Amino acid sequence: MSIYDTLNLQQKEAVCHTDGPLLILAGAGSGKTRTLTHRIAYLMDEMGINPWNILAITFTNKAAQEMRERVDRLVGFGADQIWVSTFHSACVRILRRYIDRLGYDNSFTIYDTDDQKTVMKGVCKRLNIDTKVYKERSFLTAISSAKDDLVDVREYEVRAAGDHHREMTARAYREYQETLKKSNALDFDDIIVKTVELFKSCPEVLDYYQERFRYIMVDEYQDTNFAQFELIRLLADKYRNLCVVGDDDQSIYKFRGADIRNILDFELHYPKARVIKLEQNYRSTQNILDAANAVIRNNVGRKDKALWTDRGEGSRIHLRQFDNAYEEAEYIADDIRHKVREGNAEYRDCAVLYRTNAQARLLEERMVVEGIPYSVVGGVNFYARSEIKDILAYLKTIDNGQDEVALRRIINVPKRSIGAASVEKLADYAGMRGIGLYDAMCMASDVPGLGKAAAKINGFVNMIQVLRSGRESYKISGLIQAIIEHTGYEEYLRSQDDESAEDRLANLDELITKAVTYEESHDEILLSEFLEEIALVADIDNVQEGDDRVLLMTLHSAKGLEFSSVYLSGMEDGLFPGYMSIKTDSPEDMEEERRLAYVGITRAKDDLTLTYARMRMVRGETQYNPISRFVREIPAGLMDQTIPGTGRASDVLARPELEAMGAGRQGSFGGKRERAIVRPRTTPKTDKPFIARGIGSLNQIAGIQKGVSGTADAPDYSVDDRVRHVKYGEGTVKKIVKEPRDYKVTVEFDGAGQKIMYASFAKLKRL
């Protein structure tokens, strides 16, 4: 039997259609990776295409690795010559070879988010920009959006003419780019932008890669932005053997620049394109799929399709309502513990998904109380920890002395008595001479005004030179150990906080392990390649499949994953969909929120639980929000609870289930609780950043507001007064209740409905 006989009819059709543009609309769980890998195998085995003429693009390193391994198993010899990589990895590979044609050195550095913030902080200081009025983050966001649309500095300046704020952004954009260029550095957006620029300015380079990549496949095409679209268009323009795979119903990254029109308008850009739909789902039960189909069908901007499965109906969707967010978190933790205790699941089979990161706090605290091992995806990225960034900054300085951000980070870490004033004198000297900061440090003895600091700087430079000269003899793992030893970094950590030093040193050990893993998997060991591999790691790539832990994550982080049991928490209008989507009444924003709900529902394989709370405290205000409209779009027959008289959603508090599981709960919101918060033995030390929250946060839930000392002053408004709120607008005060530490105010807002909030947080203005 052929390996292609294991495919369903639509998958096989997509595999065998090799010439010309092809759009594969692959619904959630429909086997798109299987289809792509078999298509690569078909190109090589049946069509005789050379592996080096095939390019496969994915969005995460994890997906690229999975695809590479599957292709290896299918075709064996020659598979290693296929380019299977992320957009950024592929572009970095191209730029390492040709970026010198754009005036950069080929050993450029890649700046991460923290590096970008550091650069922008310096930009604002040099341009005398008041960061209380013009926020550094807003500049970076605007610059990133411009790069996504391939708008360079000159074009941005032209478009900004006459608009003071945009003109200020244009100044920051120019200075930011010049700073990066001087440091021989690129940010993540530049990696794509500079590759497009290279192709457009060097036709011979473009022609080389067009000949090299005669067959191109792009996964998750719905998540591409304009720059990525243009990159692929240029590469595929000669042979037009472009296969894109995606699902418009899972386009959820508009905030990152993703443009859903790329997939919806594919046939406009490629009129002769073939379109094949993959609608058979291999992941979920039919009840879960029917719920997802019912929700997403309310979107207008989509291509029609409906998921189905031969797995059977499965259990109905569990719908649970609670008095407040604390009881919601309590139920979820108890239900997970119950499933594991009864042998119906392992912790790794369960995931709790939410709309915003702020919702994680209560869930984390309940996991701690119940002794449930868990991890928060997107919490503290391993490579964002200060000790890791310090050592990586040393590696970057050794690899590329022009990286000013890395150099500034480590020049006084550990402390060398090199003050900020000395660094600025060096920077001024470098600016006058037109050289880099490191070059100026090498000439410290000639820099006026440094005094005794010059000897300290010379010592630092000598150490870097020694480490750099040993780079050829050291492996990267050995170089890291040499940095720790030469700098006295271990003693530095212990002197800072001896209690946390062991955890932080363990993180450095893990970095060495990462280096050894890299060395074992690469024939040629290159420091620059190692650093770029780390720079391109995504949060979700750090999730270890073997870990027996419950995963807590936002819905955005959950895309591409699947779990036997999924809990969608906070299913309330105002939270999901978000308040701003409702307030602006934007059809596009609401459709993206609905796609996010569709993604969340389709993460579940066997068991899906939707939870919501009657009241929830947000920013110190008690909010009463109705059940999410997305829940109301699910047919009543698919769920196990209904609101009496409506047949739509649950009005049951699910107390019997909690009591059966021994929840040990007393009272409702703010009631006494007998359990103390204890650290579970199953949670290792390395998770401390996720759970070390303390009991103080529970006090806030009970109505004891942080920052309120004693009793707050009485508000200057009365019942029936008209007031204005910064977010909800105008409304009428209905009730004021004096409590031990504050005044609880009930307001009927003209547009947002009734809200209950504490006066000291609400800051209502009487009209």
Q: Which residues are catalytic?
A: 32-33, 219-220, 250, 603
Which is nearest to 182 in space by CA: 222, 122, 237? Answer: 122
Q: Which residues contact 452 (CB under 8 A, 6 or more apart)?
A: none
Q: Helix (H, G, I), strand (E, B), or coil: what is residue 642?
A: coil
One-character DSSP codes across 501-515: HHHHHHHHHHHHHHH
- The answer to whether the beta carbons of residues 644 and 592 sit under 8 Å apart is no
646 three-class SS:
coil
SS3 709: coil
The per-residue DSSP string of 361-423 comes to: HHHHHHHHHHT--EEETTSS-GGGSHHHHHHHHHHHHHH-TT-HHHHHHHTTSS--S--HHHH
The partner residues of 639 in beta bridges, in order of sequence, read 317
Q: What is the rounded CA–CA span in Å between residue 127 and residue 757?
A: 42
**Is the peptide bond preceding residue 203 cis, with omega within 30 degrees of 0?**
no
Q: Where is 610: in which H helix or E strand?
A: strand 604-618
Contacts by residues 672-681 (CB-CB < 8 Å, ≥ 24 positions apart): 675/369, 677/365, 677/368, 677/369, 678/368, 678/369, 678/371, 679/368, 680/368, 680/370, 680/371, 680/372, 680/373, 681/371
CB atoms within 10 A of CB 635: 14
Report whether 147 contacts 227 (CB < 8 A).
yes
Contact 590, 250 (CB under 8 A): no
Contact between 395 and 427 under an 8 Å Cβ cutoff? The reply is no
**Helix, strand, coil shares of the chain as percentages rounded to 5?**
50, 15, 35
Using alpha carbons, select from 482, 476, 483 the residue that is nearest to residue 519.
Answer: 476
d(CA 411, CA 449) in angstroms, rounded, equals: 18
Sign of the dihedral through C-alpha 726, 728, 731, 734: negative
Could you tell me if 335 and 341 are in contact, meaning their C-beta atoms sit under 8 angstroms apart?
no
Q: How far apart are CA 368 and CA 691, in angstroms?
A: 7
> Are 699 and 740 in contact, with CB atoms under 8 Å apart?
no
> Are residues 241 and 274 in contact, defined by beta-carbon separation less than 8 angstroms?
no
Sign of the torsion angle spanned by Cα atoms 394, 395, 399, 400: negative
- Alpha carbon of 237 to those of 44, 230, 274, 440: distances in Å? 22, 10, 17, 46
Q: Cis (ω within 30 of 0) for the bond into 577?
A: yes
**Which residue, among 437, 455, 435, 358, has the nearest Cα to 397 in the 3D structure?**
437
Round to whole Å and give the CA distance between 484 and 464: 12
169 neighbors 157 (Cβ within 8 angstroms):
no
Instruction: Match 């920013």 to its residue by tokens.
Output: 619
Structure tokens at 599: 């993604």
Nearest C-alpha neighbor of 256 from the set 556, 25, 585 = 556
Do 444 and 454 form a contact (C-beta atoms < 8 A)? yes
